Amino acid sequence: MSSSRNRILVPEAKEALNQFKMEAAHEVGTPLTNGYNGDLTSRQNGSVGGQMVKKMVQDYENRLK
């Protein structure tokens, strides 16, 4: 029994999340494409996720000011 916990809670936000991911990949120099990215290393994929979190934290901190 396999269930994915990586589901989008607001389906209307899917395109915006994909755009955000592509921007983060571009910023860290990871050649992410729309489609299969299984040829990328864990380090490359992790750097994209890390960049996304970094930008979200910066945005939150800016909103607190």
Query: In this predicted model, what pLDDT tens digit does every residue of 40-64 receive, in sequence order?
Result: 999 999 999 999 999 999 999 999 9
Name the band, by pLDDT with cuts 50, 70 and 90, for residue 5. Answer: confident
- Residue 48: inside a domain, yes or no? yes
Number of domains in the chain: 1
Answer for the pair 25, 32: CB distance below 8 angstroms, yes or no: yes
Domain span at residue 49 reads 13-27+41-64
Name the band, by pLDDT with cuts 50, 70 and 90, for residue 4. Answer: low
- Residue 33: inside a domain, yes or no? no
- Residue 34: inside a domain, yes or no? no
- Residue 49: inside a domain, yes or no? yes
